[in-house]
Amino acid sequence: MKKAYVYIAAIVIVVIGVTLLLLYLSKDDTSSSNPNDLSNLVESKPLPIPPLLEDVNPDPNLAEFHLTAQHGVTEILDGIESETLGYNGNILGPVIKVHEGDRVKVVMKNDLREATTLHWHGLRVDGENDGGPHSGINPGETWEPEFTIEQPAATLWYHPHMMHATAKQVYEGLAGLFIIEDAVSDSLPIPKDYGVNDFPIIIQDKQLDASGNMQYDPGMNDMMMGLYGNAYLVNGAISPYLEVPKGMVRLRLLNGSNGRTYHFELHNGQEFYQIASDGGFLEKPVEMTSLTLSPAERAEILVDFSAFETGDEITLIDTVSELGKTISEDEVEVMKFTVTDTESEAYPIPEQLTEIDNIDPADAVVTREMVMAGVGSTLTINDKSMDMGVIDEVVNLNDTEIWEVSNKRTGVQGGMAHPFHLHGVQFQVIDRDGNPPPANETGWKDTILVEPGETVRIITTFNYKGIFMYHCHILEHEDAGMMGQYEVK
C-alpha cells in the first residue's frame, strides 16, 4: 500500500519535473506520500510540564538557582532515541520563577563537550549578566551571574548564545522559561496555578530524518530561510495532549523554534484572549481567533474550556501558508486539549490587566536606523555582518531612543520576514509603516516581526550598562552574522 503511494508520488514528481520538490519529499515533508512517513510511530503522550526550579539558598533575600547544561537522550518517536541537550535533564530546562524585586543568583555549569553561554532573553540586566556571546562558558566550567529583577510580571526565557553555535544548541534542546511575577500578577483574578490551570507551552519544530532521529543537519534552504522542521514538539514531546479543567486556562506560549513563524488557531475557530506579550501584561485582554508568533516571541493567552463536555478534544493548530519553505498541509496539529470533569473556578475575562506608561516619542534623543537586508550567508544589519570585535552602536545610559527597523525587500520570492530582537530592554512599538500597531503589540516587547518591505519604529530607554546584542532571531540568520552589538555607557 505504502509502496504504491511512493510510486505514484514519484511519477507525479517526474512528470512535473520539480526537482526541488523531490528534495523536500525526502527531507522536509510529512504528508502521506512521503516514503519516510513515520506517523505510525507518533504516539500522543501527555504534555510534559517542566518542573519549577527550586531556590537552593536559605537566605530569604537571595534566590539561588542551579542549572547544568548536559547531554541527554529523548524518545521523540516511539522506540527511537535521539541525542538531545537539556538543562538538568534530557531536553529543555526547568522553569525559573522569580518575583519583581528579587535578588537572583544563578550557578550555571557546563557539562557539554563544547562551549556555551546562558542568555536571559527579555531580562533587563547589565551586559555582564546578559549571557551574550562574550560570556562563553567552557566545558567543565561554571558561570555565576547575579542580578535584581526590576521589571513587571512576564514570561521570559533562557537559551544559549554562543557565536555560530546558538542555532544548533537551541535546536538540540537548550531552552527554558523564566517567569516573573509581581504585585499585579499576584492580585489579578486569572489562572495562576502552575501545571493546573497555568501551563508553559514551548513550541518548536524539529527535523526528523528518515529513521526518525532528531538531528541538527540544516540544508542550504534551512541556512537561507531558517530551519523548518517536519515535526512539531511541545515541551519536547511530539503531538502531546493536555488534560484541562472545564474552565479558564492560561497558556504561556513561547515560540522556541529556530526559524518558523506560527499562526495559531483552535481547530473549532473558538476565540481566545491574549493577556500578555513578550515583556508582560497588555493593558486589556485582546480577543482573537488567530495568533502569529515569530521565533522568540511569547504570548500568554486565556482559553475558556467551560462550555465543553468531559472528554471533548480541542486541537491547537498552525495554519501554514508560507509557500516555498516547506510542502505541507494547510493545517498542522500542534497539540490537543482534553477536557476533564474537573469544574474549575470561573474566571471572567478581566476588563483591565495593568497600566502601561507609553514612552513619548518626543523624549527620544536619537533615531537609529536598523536596516535588515541580504539573503543566505550575506544577511546583514546596516550592511554589516556580526564582528565580535566591533561595537556597532553606542548609546548613552538612560537615554530614550527610537529605533527604526526596516526590512529591505531583497533575496528570493520578494524577501522574507525577520524577527528583530534587542537585548537588555523591553521596548514599545510606535508604528508599523506609519500605522498604529495591532492591539496585541501595544505592550512591552523584545522581539518584533518585520515583514518584507516594512519599517517598524520602536522606542525604549536604556537603563543598563554594558554590551548587548541586537539581531534577527531566526537562529540560522543570527549565526550567519545578522547581528550587531551596542554598548550602553
**Nearest residue by C-beta to ligand C2O?**
121
Q: Work out how close the CB of 175 gets to Cu ion at its nearest, in angstroms, rounded to a whole number.
A: 12
- State how far the Cα of 273 lies from the Cα of 275, in Å rounded to an integer: 6
The residue among 161 and 336 lying less far from ligand C2O, judged by its C-beta, is 161
Q: Is 121 in the site for Cu ion (CB under 5 A)?
A: yes
What is the per-residue binding string for ligand C2O in 254-283, x denoting contact by CB under 6 A? Answer: ------------------------------
Burial of 323 (0-12, 13-18, 19+ CB in 10 A): exposed
Q: Work out how close the CB of 361 gets to ligand C2O at its nearest, in angstroms, rounded to a whole number.
A: 26
Could you say which DSSP state residue 481 is in?
A: T
The one segment of 4-12, 184-192, 414-422, 434-442 that binds Cu ion by CB under 5 A: 414-422
Helices 2-16 & 19-27 angle (0-180, nearest 10): 150
The one segment of 51-59, 87-95, 187-195, 420-428 that binds Cu ion by CB under 5 A: 420-428
Q: Is 121 in the site for ligand C2O (CB under 6 A)?
A: yes
Are residues 124 and 464 in contact, defined by beta-carbon separation less than 8 angstroms? Answer: yes
How many CA atoms, within 13 angstroms, populate the side-chain half-sphere of residue 4? 1
Q: Work out how close the CB of 474 gets to Cu ion at its nearest, in angstroms, rounded to a whole number.
A: 4
Q: Is 284 in the site for ligand C2O (CB under 6 A)?
A: no
User: Which helix (H) or strand (E) covers residue 478, if one does?
Assistant: helix 475-479
- Contacts with 155 (C-beta within 8 Å, 6 or more apart), sequence order: 177, 178, 179, 252, 254, 276, 298, 300
Residues 329-358 that bind Cu ion (CB under 5 A): none
Q: Is 109 in the site for Cu ion (CB under 5 A)?
A: no
Q: Is 475 in the site for ligand C2O (CB under 6 A)?
A: no
The one segment of 57-65, 299-307, 426-434, 469-477 that binds ligand C2O by CB under 6 A: 469-477
One residue of 296, 334, 370, 425 binding ligand C2O per CB under 6 A: 296
Q: Is 471 in the site for ligand C2O (CB under 6 A)?
A: yes
C-alpha cell at 314: 480541542
Q: Work out how close the CB of 447 gets to ligand C2O at its nearest, in angstroms, rounded to a whole number.
A: 7
Q: Work out how close the CB of 159 gets to ligand C2O at its nearest, in angstroms, rounded to a whole number.
A: 6
Q: Is 372 in the site for ligand C2O (CB under 6 A)?
A: no
One residue of 252, 423, 432, 445 binding ligand C2O per CB under 6 A: 423
- Contacts with 398 (C-beta within 8 Å, 6 or more apart), sequence order: 461, 462, 463
- Contacts with 369 (C-beta within 8 Å, 6 or more apart), sequence order: 382, 403, 404, 406
C-alpha cell at 437: 500597531
What are the start-end ranges of the H helices in 172-290? 183-187, 220-225
One residue of 27, 66, 109, 161 binding ligand C2O per CB under 6 A: 161
User: Which helix (H) or strand (E) covers residue 475, if one does?
Assistant: helix 475-479
- State how far the Cα of 333 lies from the Cα of 318, in Å rounded to an integer: 6
Partner whose binding site includes residue 418, from Cu ion, ligand C2O, none (CB under 5 to 8 Å by kind): Cu ion
Q: Work out how close the CB of 7 gets to ligand C2O at its nearest, in angstroms, rounded to a whole number.
A: 45
Q: Is 27 in the site for ligand C2O (CB under 6 A)?
A: no
Q: Is 27 in the site for Cu ion (CB under 5 A)?
A: no
- State how far the Cα of 434 lies from the Cα of 56, in Å rounded to an integer: 49
Q: Work out how close the CB of 483 gets to ligand C2O at its nearest, in angstroms, rounded to a whole number.
A: 8
Are residues 172 and 92 in contact, defined by beta-carbon separation less than 8 angstroms? Answer: no
Could you say which DSSP state residue 194 is in?
A: B
Q: Work out how close the CB of 423 gets to Cu ion at its nearest, in angstroms, rounded to a whole number.
A: 5
The residue among 124 and 423 lying less far from ligand C2O, judged by its C-beta, is 423
Write down the residue that cell numbers 544577511 correspond to. 379
Residues counted in the chain: 489
Q: Is 418 in the site for Cu ion (CB under 5 A)?
A: yes
Are residues 486 and 392 in contact, defined by beta-carbon separation less than 8 angstroms? Answer: yes
Q: Is 445 in the site for ligand C2O (CB under 6 A)?
A: no
- State how far the Cα of 171 lies from the Cα of 167, in Å rounded to an integer: 6
| Count of residues that interact with Cu ion, criterion CB under 5 A | 6
One residue of 222, 272, 477, 488 binding Cu ion per CB under 5 A: 477
Nearest Cα neighbor of 228 from 28, 69, 377 is 28
The residue among 118 and 249 lying less far from ligand C2O, judged by its C-beta, is 118
Nearest Cα neighbor of 241 from 335, 311, 333 is 335
Partner whose binding site includes residue 471, from Cu ion, ligand C2O, none (CB under 5 to 8 Å by kind): ligand C2O
Partner whose binding site includes residue 66, from Cu ion, ligand C2O, none (CB under 5 to 8 Å by kind): none
- State how far the Cα of 224 lies from the Cα of 16, in Å rounded to an integer: 25
- Contacts with 345 (C-beta within 8 Å, 6 or more apart), sequence order: 247, 248
The one segment of 146-154, 174-182, 376-384, 465-473 that binds ligand C2O by CB under 6 A: 465-473
C-alpha cell at 39: 506517523
What is the per-residue binding string for ligand C2O in 90-119, x denoting contact by CB under 6 A? Answer: -----------------------------x
Are residues 262 and 317 in contact, defined by beta-carbon separation less than 8 angstroms? Answer: no
Partner whose binding site includes residue 161, from Cu ion, ligand C2O, none (CB under 5 to 8 Å by kind): ligand C2O
- State how far the Cα of 25 lies from the Cα of 230, in Å rounded to an integer: 10
| Count of residues that interact with ligand C2O, criterion CB under 6 A | 10
In the complex, the residues that contact ligand C2O under the rule CB under 6 A are 119, 121, 159, 161, 296, 421, 423, 469, 471, 473
Q: Which residues bind Cu ion (CB under 5 A)?
A: 121, 418, 423, 472, 474, 477
